[in-house]
């Protein structure tokens, strides 16, 4: 029924005729009747009996006690016509007992009693359904209001309807994206207006998914509604449905430390290993990557002038801390006021302490140098560090010279002789661990900077390229030789997709899929294998679990194949 084409926690899918979801659905579902009218229960809200779905038994009330839940029909499976095609649907009817949910194989899953589910903060049922069904199947949530649609799409809903447009028009309300407004306009005018708002909201949802900013739209539309906000806060999305680096600036205004992009970064940055025990703490900058900003050029120049090799660690909200090696994968903007929330303070200090602990575990001790503005020092919960920012201004000539001279003194006293070239390679190795979970870049790698940054190894007295660096998202792009190196190092622990045929450049479709690593995220660089041999490399179009459940559609963009 659907082919996913874009993910940002929620997803955009394509129907056979090219229609993109999330969208409205007009599905003709056969009605069921009962001899006793009082036994007929209309499942879809706000619709006429002739247009709706009728269950052959009474629908389970939301708060039904578990002891008597067994007497109700918990779902109904049937066939329907949609765009001249026969589809199978399942109506989900489990009340508050999500654990009673039994998913049948269907093209479309219809959520019953949606209003109560929202008000009772039980929208996690959508996540439970999405986890179990094929990515080619759709989820339909009837009777929604425009400001509910972004959150529902974020959670995995594909289809909505116009039922609420007519219902609220009949009550004298017109829609905006964020609320209902009482109006004296006539029914037809309100109905047409409400339908238009629904169309506009769905268009914006699709746009935001493609641009990687659906979370921002969800924040806008849930912040004024306690029920929606509670559902949003309770939802823990599948982090595999966002890339490791979006390559576009993300906007972070609320829930700074809780957003999926930060959670995914923290999850992957845990693999980072420091190169030295001398750590310089630096402030963030509005321009990203940090090293391209005016302030960080001054910092880098002062550090380089000292001839000292250090770990440059940027303290920031929302990411906590960012090593210089990983600065290319974070691109964000936040409202800067000079004030920190309690949550930000706790998060930054926790991540910093964990990092210092890792430095001490590797080197035995650590030297911390704080080159931070005054408002950073106010939140820093460290007992032992050297402050080189004079009068709380790290950019003054006096402060920059103090940083340089302090590093020179440490270098002499500690007799530290580390190689800057070795650190450069080390940083790229840590980036590889962030991206792939394992380093595949050897210590003797040759790095070429033009026309783009390429990484080569000596193989049979010939330089061969293993990867290049994508400047847009700060991540590596594999060559076939790089894929082979990864496979040799870690086998099926790497991000692999196994195929059952001789592949070509282009797309891997579901029939050619055999198996994969479920940890694959959308847009991940992956290794393609057949009979335990690397046959190509490419980019994942969906996460690994979705690949395993897919019935049709493209799963991987194949870039290089073995000849």
- Structure confidence at residue 42 (pLDDT): 35
Query: What is the topology classification, in CATH, of domain 431-561?
Result: 2.30.130
CATH number of 3-237: 3.20.20.105
Strand-pairing partners, residue 160, are 24
The label of the residue with tokens 């140098």 reads 369
Beta bridge partners of 536: 528, 561
* Distance from C-alpha of 108 to C-alpha of 55, rounded to nearest angstrom: 17
Instruction: Give me the DSSP letters along 274-305.
Output: -S-SEEEEEE--SSSSGGGSHHHHHHHHHHHH
Write down the CATH number for the domain with range 250-418: 3.40.50.10630
CB neighbour list of residue 185: distance below 8 Å, 6 or more residues apart:
174, 193
| C-alpha–C-alpha distance, residues 263 and 265, integer Å | 5
pLDDT reported for residue 31 = 46
Q: Please state the separation of Cα 59 from the chain's center in Å.
A: 36
Residue burial 313-350, b: 16+ Cβ < 10 Å; e: rest: bbbbbbbbbbbbbbbbbbbbebeeeeebeeebeebbbe
**467 Cβ contact partners less than 8 Å away, ≥ 6 residues apart:** 441, 454, 455, 476, 477, 478, 479, 482
In the 8-state DSSP scheme, what is residue 472? T
Extents of the domains making up the chain: 3-237, 250-418, 431-561
DSSP H/E element including 466? strand 462-470
Residue 1 and residue 138: Cα distance in Å, rounded?
A: 7
Using an 8 Å Cβ cutoff, are 284 and 251 in contact? no
What is the total residue count of the chain? 563
Let me know the angle formed at the C-alpha of 138 by 134 and 143, rounded to the nearest 5 degrees. Answer: 150
Which residues partner with 526 through β-bridges? 538
Helix (H, G, I), strand (E, B) or coil at 539: strand
The span from the CA of 260 to the CA of 155, in Å, is: 13
pLDDT given for residue 506 in this prediction = 96
Could you give the angle at the alpha carbon of 432 between the alpha carbons of 430 and 434, nearest 5°?
A: 70
Whole-model pTM?
0.91
Q: Could you please report the per-residue DSSP string of 503-534?
A: --SEEEEGGGEEEE-TTPPTT-EEEEEETTEE
Task: Return the number of other C-beta atoms located less than 10 Å from residue 24's C-beta.
Answer: 14
Q: Show pLDDT as tens, one digit a residue, over the chain (563 residues).
A: 999 999 999 999 999 999 999 999 987 765 443 333 333 333 333 333 334 444 344 567 777 888 887 777 667 889 999 998 999 999 988 877 777 788 999 999 999 888 888 988 889 999 999 999 999 999 999 999 999 999 999 999 999 999 999 999 999 999 999 999 999 999 999 999 999 999 999 999 999 999 999 999 999 999 999 999 999 999 999 999 999 999 889 999 988 889 999 999 999 999 899 999 999 999 999 999 999 999 999 999 999 999 999 999 999 999 999 999 999 999 999 988 878 889 999 999 999 999 999 999 999 999 999 999 999 999 999 989 999 999 999 999 999 999 999 999 999 998 888 999 999 999 999 999 999 999 999 999 999 998 889 999 999 899 999 999 999 999 999 999 999 999 999 999 999 999 999 999 999 999 999 999 999 999 999 999 999 999 999 999 999 999 999 999 999 999 999 98
């Amino acid at each position: 029924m659907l082919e996913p084409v874009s993910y940002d926690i929620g997803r955009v899918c394509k129907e056979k005729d090219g229609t993109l979801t999330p969208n409205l659905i007009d599905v003709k579902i056969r009605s069921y009747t009962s001899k006793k009218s009082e036994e007929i229960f209309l499942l879809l809200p706000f619709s006429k009996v002739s247009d709706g779905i009728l269950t052959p038994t009474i629908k389970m009330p939301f708060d039904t006690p578990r002891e008597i839940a067994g007497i109700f029909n918990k779902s109904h499976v049937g066939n329907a016509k949609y765009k001249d095609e026969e589809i199978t649907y399942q109506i989900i009817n489990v009340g508050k007992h999500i654990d009673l949910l039994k998913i049948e194989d269907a093209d479309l899953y219809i959520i019953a009693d949606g209003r109560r589910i929202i008000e009772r903060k039980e929208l996690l049922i959508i996540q439970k359904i999405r986890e179990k069904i094929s990515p080619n199947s759709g989820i339909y949530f009837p009777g929604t209001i425009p400001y509910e649609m972004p959150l529902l799409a974020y959670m995995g809903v594909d289809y909505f309807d116009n039922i609420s447009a007519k219902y609220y028009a009949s009550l004298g309300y017109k829609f905006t994206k964020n609320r209902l407004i009482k109006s004296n306009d006539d029914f037809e005018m309100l109905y047409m207006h409400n339908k238009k708002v629904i169309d506009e909201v769905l268009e914006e949802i699709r746009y935001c998914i493609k641009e990687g900013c659906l979370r921002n739209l969800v924040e806008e539309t849930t912040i004024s509604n306690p029920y929606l906000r509670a559902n949003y806060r309770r939802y823990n999305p599948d982090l595999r449905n966002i890339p490791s680096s979006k390559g576009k600036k993300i906007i972070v205004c609320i829930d700074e430390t809780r957003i999926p992009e930060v959670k995914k970064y923290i999850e992957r940055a845990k693999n980072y290993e420091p190169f030295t025990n001398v750590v310089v703490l630096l402030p963030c900058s509005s321009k990203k990557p940090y090293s391209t900003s005016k302030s960080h050029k001054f910092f880098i120049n002062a550090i380089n002038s000292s001839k000292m090799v250090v770990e440059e660690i940027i303290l920031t909200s929302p990411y906590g801390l960012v090593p210089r090696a990983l600065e290319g994968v974070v691109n964000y903007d936040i409202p800067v006021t000079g004030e920190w929330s309690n949550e930000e303070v706790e998060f930054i200090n926790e991540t910093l302490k964990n990092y210092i602990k890792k430095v001490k575990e590797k080197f035995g001790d650590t030297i911390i140098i704080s080159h931070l503005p005054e408002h950073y020092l106010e939140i820093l919960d460290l007992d032992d560090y050297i402050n080189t920012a004079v009068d709380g201004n790290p950019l003054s000539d006096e402060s920059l010279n103090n940083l340089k001279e302090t590093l020179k003194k440490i270098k002499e006293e500690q007799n530290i002789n580390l190689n800057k070239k070795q650190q450069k390679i080390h940083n790229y190795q840590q980036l590889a661990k962030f991206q792939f979970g394992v380093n595949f870049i050897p210590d003797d790698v040759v790095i070429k900077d033009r026309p783009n940054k390429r990484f080569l190894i000596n193989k049979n007295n010939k330089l061969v390229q293993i990867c290049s660096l994508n400047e847009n998202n700060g991540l590596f792009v594999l060559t076939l030789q790089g894929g082979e190196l990864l496979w040799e190092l870690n086998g099926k622990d790497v991000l692999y997709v196994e195929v059952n045929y001789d592949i070509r450049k282009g797309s891997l479709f579901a029939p050619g899929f055999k198996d994969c690593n479920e940890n694959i995220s959308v847009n991940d660089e992956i290794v393609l294998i057949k009979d335990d041999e690397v046959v190509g490399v490419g980019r994942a179009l969906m996460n690994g679990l979705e690949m395993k459940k897919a019935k049709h559609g493209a799963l991987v963009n194949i870039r290089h194949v073995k000849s």
